[in-house]
Structure 1
Amino acid sequence: MSFSIKFNDHELCDYLRVVSIRRNIGTTRTNNTVKSGDRAGQIFTSMTRDMATIEIEFKMKNNLIEKRRELAAILNVTEPAVLILGDEPSKYYKAIPDGDISPEDQNFLSSVTLQFVVPDGLAHALDAKQFPFQEEDDETVIENRGTTSAPLDIHATFLSDADSIGFTNDTQTVQFGTTFSEDESENEFVPSERVIFDGMGPTYRNEWKPNVGRPRFKYDYGEGSSRVTGKVRWLESKVRITDYGSIKDDDPGFWHGPTLTRNLTESLNNFTAYFRFKMKPGGKRKNRPKSQGLLEINLMDADNNFVMGFGLKDNDPNKASVMYDFFIGDHRVFRGHLPRKVLKYTTGIFGYVEMSKVGNKFSFKLCHLKEGFRENWSVKKTYLNDSVAMLSFKTINFYGAKWKRIRDMITEWTSTTITKINTEDDSLVPLVFYEGDELFVDGQNNHVYINGIRDDNYRVIGSSQFLTAPVGKTAYSVLTDGNVEGHYEMREQYL
């Protein structure tokens, strides 16, 4: 009889035959007690659960050395990964190998005992269940058929502007946005205004002008100056560079590619600008490190002076190495390199950069996104600059380029959002929601995202930190001063 054990998307039973699996009933329990005076015995105070362990005994036959190497590569993880056992195919564990794995060899047969540690001590349902929000005054009933409480993810789309939103059951209330108490005046806060909410699809095409923008890198560098040439293609929800222009064999080396430019209807003294993008190599995996690319996002004033900017560049043809730069005015204020945990995702990046200016404070956030727009890595920097603070933001300029005839990167811009901040004190900016905003609350990790941007500050202080579903049926209500649609999402959990 065959048996399946999948770890991190690899089938271990392609290499091994299962002899036995040892799992405890639940997890190790520790009861905490205290001695009280002359009272007999002790007083129970609390109970804690430890992590769980799973031991799997295998047999390996033939090609032992080759199988050992392949198994070592599969098990070489640095964080818990998904483990699915064949006798419970609808559940998974977040597990990581533990201890020594020491096969006992006898000729062409080897016995192996493999131990996995499950830090949270739980099994999780492989399939998530969704529970739509009900109409106003109606409650959403969530039935948890697991054996312990489960965190709830929240997905909400705002159909109108709103100051706040809350989600509540009989024992919990979590709130997001800005709420005002009876002794607090809403007028103390200065509302912001969203001036651009651009999905970068064909609907917005006429707002952008091709090849009229100014690159930042080597703009005036003689024969080696960066060139503006080439074309883009407007797809359903993104703009992709499809042509970087031509270059002759005897031309000097230079970067070349198209620009996209959009002018705002007014200049902004204080703002937050959000851009989602992709710069990744294509083709076969072995050729990807050979790709090179340059991506720029620059914010300009009405006289074409730089206010803020961001750049990505891969100029190493021998390995995957991508540097990123933050600029204020004409000067680079920071340079870093994407870490390995980002580059392992096909050696490039899909993510976003957020640039903001409030008074003389300039802030940057660069983030790599995984599937589902989940943050995998981010870096934040803030600087003060009095001279550039005098400039106002009027124009957005994108630039994507390749080096000479070297293999290019896939370069796309997928979202642009610009918000006008009507104060020079960012503590007076209310965290509110606009029509079209998408709120996602990751219940498992307790993270809050607005339109794919993680911002835990949206959680109202004093409300519950988590929204969970206890075992059985529980009713939930949505409380907001706006209109929303959405759903709760739950993966049942088992001790």
Structure 2
Amino acid sequence: MSLSVMFDGNELNEILDVTDLRRNVGSPRTNNFQRMSSSQLQRYLGYTKDNAVWEMDFKMKNDLIEKRRGLAALLNVDEPKELIFGDEPDKYVMAVPDGETPVTEQVFLGKGTIQWIVVNGKSYSKDIKQFSFIDDEATVFNNGTDDAPLDIHATFTSDADSIGFVQEEEVVQFGTTITEDEDDFVPSERVIRDGMGPTYRNEWKLNVGRPRFKYDYGEGSSRVTGNVRWVESKVRISDFGTFKEDGPSYWHGPTLTRNLTESLDNFTAYHRFKLKPGGKRKNRPKSLGLLEINYLDADSNFVMGFSLKDNNPNKATIMYDFFIGDHRVFRGYLPNKVLDYTTGIFGYIEMTKIGNEFSFKLCHLKEGFRENWSVKKTYHNDSVAMLSAKTINFYGAQWKQFRDMITEWTSTTVTKINTEDDTLVPLVFYEGDELFVDGQSNRVYINGIRDDNYRVIGSSQFLTAPTGQSEFSIVSDGEADGYLEMRECYL
């Protein structure tokens, strides 16, 4: 039986049989020396390591054209992916094919070689070990053969300016360290943290808001009608209202509106949502939907907003728009790797207004609230900068009687920023915030939002566990519960 080769979740030996595999020992090592003046002696300056190159010979039988094209599709990746060989099914490497993959064909038999570039030449355990902090201390046991990157998970039980994770002389720190002479920093204030479940339903009013898309267009205007259902940590549209077939065409659905306790000149708003086709797989591309999230002032003038729209019944395609005031400042389309009509779009929008600067970040989330794709845009507008946000308005709609989409809002967080200089906005933590640091990619996430700016400049960049036993501590001006996760690493 051929050796199993899993690459990016696909079994390659359904297409090929491995005939030889050359994995070498560790990574290529380059030793560096410096010749000492007036001497034949050389001083050792250390070494550097490169990625490893593994060569895999294979053969293919029958249907060579089809298999060659199938193999090309599986190898066509844009970044290193997990590679697992059947003789070590409990470990994986991050690898990407390199160069050409020539295949010689003789009648029904084809032979070739794949060169795998193995990142850092290291293997990782598929099993994840977890080490909890007890009284701000955690003991990590690494039975691998090399230092292992650590994932950091922390949930804040109080507000905090910063948090650090310490191992001997190594400190990885996040947040903002404010010294006594830094009086320019003004604390931000979280004014809303809404899980969008039944607990929060009394904060919202149904069908009193106005949509942005073609609301004042006479008979063809968008209509406010229908109802929502509050379940656990989300609110879902349960009824888009009725549509008269003999009248004009229009979008129709409910609005949800929440008034802020005060008008905000400067703020950051985070909203998580879902826009998902329903029904049988073959019918899902026919689903149409519109989702809006808008901020308005006390006089119902638009301050800034965002929308998603699928208005093409012939294929799965979703456009997204960013708005400042009454004007659309950007239109884009979700890329194919994000828009899968079998699962729809689940993600978040982050909108920020500081002075005359307006920023948008749209992100698609995969399992575990990890970012899969994002786009960020920043604009300046002096006239709209004078408006203050007082109202949040959601709108979800169905086009005529076409197949609708599952429309949900699952989280709302609004933070008041007390400065008009974005360089002086302290990146702090609030009670209930969740910090996650991906040890392998070194990416920082706050409540599922990637923000590498939370890493304190001057602190260590990576948190790693040496082989054997090691001790880690939490150092913070607040309180947090947490744990470390590790995949053991092998040379």
TM-score range normalised by the length of the shorter chain: over 0.9
In structure 2, C-alpha distance between the alignment counterparts of 1:410 and 1:423, rounded to whole Å: 38
Gaps of 5+ in 2: none
Q: Say if 2:277 and 2:341, in contact at 8 Å, map to a contact too.
A: no
CA 1:472–1:10 in structure 2 vs 1: closer, same or farther (change >3 Å)? Answer: same
CA 1:104–1:379 in structure 2 vs 1: closer, same or farther (change >3 Å)? Answer: closer
Tell me the alpha carbon deviations over residues 439-464 of structure 1, each in whole angstroms, 9 at most, x when there is no partner.
11122122211111112221112111
Q: Say if 1:288 and 1:347, in contact at 8 Å, map to a contact too.
A: no
1:398 aligns with 2:367: no
Alignment match, 1:459: 455
Alignment match, 1:45: 45
- After TM superposition, give the deviation of residue 220 of structure 1 in Å: 0.7
In structure 1, C-alpha distance between the alignment counterparts of 2:99 and 2:418, rounded to whole Å: 57
Q: 410, 432, 435: which is aligned to 2:431?
A: 435
Q: 464, 473, 476: which is aligned to 1:480?
A: 476
Tell me the alpha carbon deviations over residues 125-177 of structure 1, each in whole angstroms, 9 at most, x when there is no partner.
112211111214xx311121222212111110001111111110112101111
Alignment match, 2:29: 29
CA 1:424–1:68 in structure 2 vs 1: closer, same or farther (change >3 Å)? Answer: closer
Q: Say if 2:284 and 2:341, in contact at 8 Å, map to a contact too.
A: no
Gaps of 5+ in 1: none
Matched AA of 2:208: V
In structure 1, C-alpha distance between the alignment counterparts of 2:278 and 2:32, rounded to whole Å: 56
Q: Say if 1:363 and 1:383, in contact at 8 Å, map to a contact too.
A: yes
In structure 1, C-alpha distance between the alignment counterparts of 2:74 and 2:133, rounded to whole Å: 41
Alignment match, 1:163: 161
Please state whether the residue corresponding to 2:485 is helix, strand or coil: strand
CA 1:177–1:204 in structure 2 vs 1: closer, same or farther (change >3 Å)? Answer: same
TM-score by length of structure 1 reads 0.93
Please state whether the residue corresponding to 1:59 is helix, strand or coil: strand
Deviates more, 1:194-203 or 1:363-372: 363-372
Please state whether the residue corresponding to 2:193 is helix, strand or coil: strand
Please state whether the residue corresponding to 1:32 is helix, strand or coil: strand
Alignment match, 1:184: 181
In structure 2, C-alpha distance between the alignment counterparts of 1:198 and 1:290, rounded to whole Å: 32
Q: Say if 1:96 and 1:117, in contact at 8 Å, map to a contact too.
A: yes
In structure 1, C-alpha distance between the alignment counterparts of 2:420 and 2:175, rounded to whole Å: 20
- After TM superposition, give the deviation of residue 303 of structure 1 in Å: 2.1
Matched AA of 1:6: M
Please state whether the residue corresponding to 1:279 is helix, strand or coil: strand
CA 1:284–1:78 in structure 2 vs 1: closer, same or farther (change >3 Å)? Answer: farther
Alignment match, 1:57: 57
- After TM superposition, give the deviation of residue 438 of structure 1 in Å: 0.5
In structure 2, C-alpha distance between the alignment counterparts of 1:77 and 1:340, rounded to whole Å: 14
- After TM superposition, give the deviation of residue 346 of structure 1 in Å: 4.8
Tell me the alpha carbon deviations over residues 243-263 of structure 1, each in whole angstroms, 9 at most, x when there is no partner.
222223323211111111111
Tell me the alpha carbon deviations over residues 419-474 of structure 1, each in whole angstroms, 9 at most, x when there is no partner.
11223333333221111011111221222111111122211121111111112211
Q: 382, 387, 391: which is aligned to 2:383?
A: 387
- After TM superposition, give the deviation of residue 46 of structure 1 in Å: 2.6
Alignment match, 1:290: 286
CA 1:389–1:101 in structure 2 vs 1: closer, same or farther (change >3 Å)? Answer: closer
Q: Say if 1:289 and 1:347, in contact at 8 Å, map to a contact too.
A: no
Q: Say if 1:168 and 1:478, in contact at 8 Å, map to a contact too.
A: yes
Deviates more, 1:214-223 or 1:252-261: 252-261
Matched AA of 1:226: S
1:197 aligns with 2:193: yes
Matched AA of 2:256: L
- After TM superposition, give the deviation of residue 218 of structure 1 in Å: 0.2
Q: Say if 1:324 and 1:336, in contact at 8 Å, map to a contact too.
A: yes
Deviates more, 1:109-118 or 1:292-301: 109-118
Q: 152, 162, 171: which is aligned to 1:173?
A: 171
- After TM superposition, give the deviation of residue 295 of structure 1 in Å: 1.0
Please state whether the residue corresponding to 2:276 is helix, strand or coil: strand
Please state whether the residue corresponding to 2:121 is helix, strand or coil: coil
Q: Say if 2:93 and 2:119, in contact at 8 Å, map to a contact too.
A: no
Alignment match, 1:91: 91
Matched AA of 2:170: Q
CA 1:347–1:488 in structure 2 vs 1: closer, same or farther (change >3 Å)? Answer: closer
Tell me the alpha carbon deviations over residues 114-133 of structure 1, each in whole angstroms, 9 at most, x when there is no partner.
33221332111112211111
Please state whether the residue corresponding to 1:343 is helix, strand or coil: coil
Alignment match, 2:141: 143
In structure 1, C-alpha distance between the alignment counterparts of 2:468 and 2:369, rounded to whole Å: 31
CA 1:111–1:424 in structure 2 vs 1: closer, same or farther (change >3 Å)? Answer: closer
Alignment match, 2:367: 371
Tell me the alpha carbon deviations over residues 308-362 of structure 1, each in whole angstroms, 9 at most, x when there is no partner.
1111122223333322221122122222222333225758432111112222322
Q: Say if 2:316 and 2:341, in contact at 8 Å, map to a contact too.
A: no
Q: Say if 1:322 and 1:348, in contact at 8 Å, map to a contact too.
A: no
Q: Say if 1:363 and 1:380, in contact at 8 Å, map to a contact too.
A: yes
Matched AA of 1:493: C
Matched AA of 1:77: V
Please state whether the residue corresponding to 1:266 is helix, strand or coil: strand
Alignment match, 2:11: 11
Matched AA of 1:26: G
TM-score by length of structure 2 reads 0.94
Q: Say if 2:172 and 2:463, in contact at 8 Å, map to a contact too.
A: yes
In structure 2, C-alpha distance between the alignment counterparts of 1:218 and 1:347, rounded to whole Å: 29
RMSD: 2.0
In structure 2, C-alpha distance between the alignment counterparts of 1:145 and 1:358, rounded to whole Å: 49
Alignment match, 1:101: 101
- After TM superposition, give the deviation of residue 285 of structure 1 in Å: 4.7
Q: Say if 1:320 and 1:347, in contact at 8 Å, map to a contact too.
A: no
- After TM superposition, give the deviation of residue 215 of structure 1 in Å: 0.2
Matched AA of 2:172: V
Alignment match, 2:122: 122
1:331 aligns with 2:327: yes
Report how many residues are paired.
Answer: 491
1:253 aligns with 2:249: yes
In structure 2, C-alpha distance between the alignment counterparts of 1:361 and 1:58, rounded to whole Å: 56
Matched AA of 2:430: Y
Matched AA of 1:91: K
User: Aligned runs of 1:340-351 on 2, under 5 Å?
Assistant: 340-344=336-340, 346=342, 348-351=344-347
In structure 2, C-alpha distance between the alignment counterparts of 1:445 and 1:197, rounded to whole Å: 28
CA 1:491–1:410 in structure 2 vs 1: closer, same or farther (change >3 Å)? Answer: same
Alignment match, 2:443: 447
User: Aligned runs of 1:234-245 on 2, under 5 Å?
Assistant: 234-245=230-241
Q: Say if 1:274 and 1:354, in contact at 8 Å, map to a contact too.
A: yes
Q: 204, 212, 216: which is aligned to 2:212?
A: 216
Quick one: percent identity of the two aligned structures? Answer: 70
Matched AA of 1:384: H
- After TM superposition, give the deviation of residue 2 of structure 1 in Å: 5.3
Q: Say if 1:177 and 1:458, in contact at 8 Å, map to a contact too.
A: yes
Please state whether the residue corresponding to 2:59 is helix, strand or coil: strand
In structure 2, C-alpha distance between the alignment counterparts of 1:340 and 1:323, rounded to whole Å: 12
Q: Say if 2:49 and 2:120, in contact at 8 Å, map to a contact too.
A: no
Alignment match, 1:315: 311
In structure 2, C-alpha distance between the alignment counterparts of 1:15 and 1:334, rounded to whole Å: 44
